[in-house]
Structure 1
Amino acid sequence: MSDKHEWRKQEKALYLPKAKPELVEVPAFNFITLRGEGSPAEQRFSDIVGTLYSVAYGIKMLPKKMAVKPKGYYDYTVYPLEGVWDINDEAKKTFDGTVKQEDFVYEVMIRQPDFVDEVLFGDILETVKQKKPNPLLDEVEFKSFEEGKCIQMLHVGKFEDEPATFEIMEAFAEAEGYSRLSKVHREVYLSDARKVAPEKLKTVLRFNV
């Protein structure tokens, strides 16, 4: 039996919720992250995603490619891409419930296993810079996030249809005696948008209460 850690099997509560809202407590996890602004359809967003994966796989492949096994290392499936989404300060001044994609401010990230710390991250980052030079690598950060109490739900379908799912989640929160803290929210991408039809995309939506 394999000892490989697979988030789809061992962390279903956070990554494979049902298509109905639920209250969850999300503990602190470590991530590699990159920030950006504007529409996710722009090239920078794709470049950010590619850069993060180059670092994430650099860490995962340590034992095979560099014959290095960090203390506490265990085999694992690379975690899914996540994004925390907000709008810029100018858009907030005139916010009327609708959002233009060019007003987005986002931080895209990939969670890291427990054995990854800032030192290991720094070492791998330097290695990736040497093998695959990329100016965005200078902007990659290693951060810890503790989301705490949240409402989450699986959204199936187009990203543009997410507002209807958020309405369901907000109604659930209110019924349970909670209120959404802000319009900032997190998305966990379970599907590859390059390969899956928009109406079949699976995305975990989550906001703080």
Structure 2
Amino acid sequence: MAEKYDVKRELPSYTAPRGRFEIIEVPEHAYCMVDGHGDPNTAPEYAAAVAALYAVSYAAKFQSKRELDRDYVVGPLEGLWSADDPAAFVTREKSAWSWTMMIWQPDWLTPELVAEAIAKAMAKAPAAGLVRFERLAEGSSVQTLHVGPYDDEGPTLARLHHEFMPEHGLRFNGRHHEVYLGDPRRTAPEKLRTILRQPVARRAE
């Protein structure tokens, strides 16, 4: 039996070094996405969005296996985060955050197959109707691996924004991106593993 495709093993953009920043090229990927705003710890729409993404992603996986004979491991939860003032991430002012939560989808899935998966998932997760299927190309990005509670990310992001990027002549070129390699429901906070990524571009001289 063929081994399941696992994006975390196959793509370099799903691994990052701990304790240092690296600049990588992130290829275009397909995702299921849901948009929202507010503190992810308290906003009801955040929990509904995450549940919807998993419902659609598993429905798509089962359709892929059944109809295309191609199986894979559902990708990790990811988030694109933004705020009017980027300092809101360093200070953890979560009520000011806007987010797009998303889960990677393999390139062989068609929009029609995902649309069917969304329709099926709506029976269990009504918010699945908010899910969209979209491609994202981030290109040149800086990333690192953060180990520990999410609320401890501030100092690392401060170093990225105020030290690494200025020293390397880089500017922001997209939304702050987090890849959640650990499941907070099953992992102790101090052992959570999160890729912190920032798309960048060279500053004009």
Which residue of the partner structure matches residue 25 of structure 1? 25
Contact 1:180 1:207 in 2 (8 A): no
What does the per-residue CA deviation read over 1:35-55, in whole Å, with 9 as the maximum and x for residues that have no partner?
Answer: 111111123212211110000
SS of alignment partner, residue 5 of structure 1: coil
Identity, in percent, stands at 32
Which stretch shifts more, 192-201 or 141-150? 192-201
Distance, in Å, in 2 between the alignment partners of 1:93 and 1:153 is 18
Which of 89, 101, 104 is matched with 1:108 structurally?
101
Which stretch shifts more, 23-32 or 190-199? 190-199
Distance, in Å, in 1 between the alignment partners of 2:141 and 2:89 is 24
Distance, in Å, in 1 between the alignment partners of 2:64 and 2:86 is 50
Q: 1:208 to 1:126 in 2, by over 3 A?
A: same
Written as runs of structure 1 = structure 2, the 5 A alignment for 1:36-115 is 36-42=36-42, 43-62=44-63, 68-70=66-68, 74-87=70-83, 89=84, 92=85, 98-115=91-108
Distance, in Å, in 2 between the alignment partners of 1:94 and 1:178 is 19
Which residue of the partner structure matches residue 164 of structure 2? 172
TM superposition score normalised by structure 1: 0.85
Q: 1:133 to 1:183 in 2, by over 3 A?
A: closer
Distance, in Å, in 2 between the alignment partners of 1:96 and 1:146 is 23
Contact 1:153 1:169 in 2 (8 A): no
Shift, 1:173, TM fit: 3.3
> Runs ≥4 in structure 1, deviation > 4 angstroms?
93-97
What does the per-residue CA deviation read over 1:99-135, in whole Å, with 9 as the maximum and x for residues that have no partner?
Answer: 4211110000001001112111112211222x3251x
Q: 1:201 to 1:126 in 2, by over 3 A?
A: same
SS of alignment partner, residue 138 of structure 2: strand
Written as runs of structure 1 = structure 2, the 5 A alignment for 1:177-196 is 177-181=168-172, 184-196=175-187
Q: Does 1:127 align with 2:120?
A: yes
Contact 1:21 1:168 in 2 (8 A): no
Distance, in Å, in 1 between the alignment partners of 2:87 and 2:144 is 28
Residues matched between the structures, number:
197
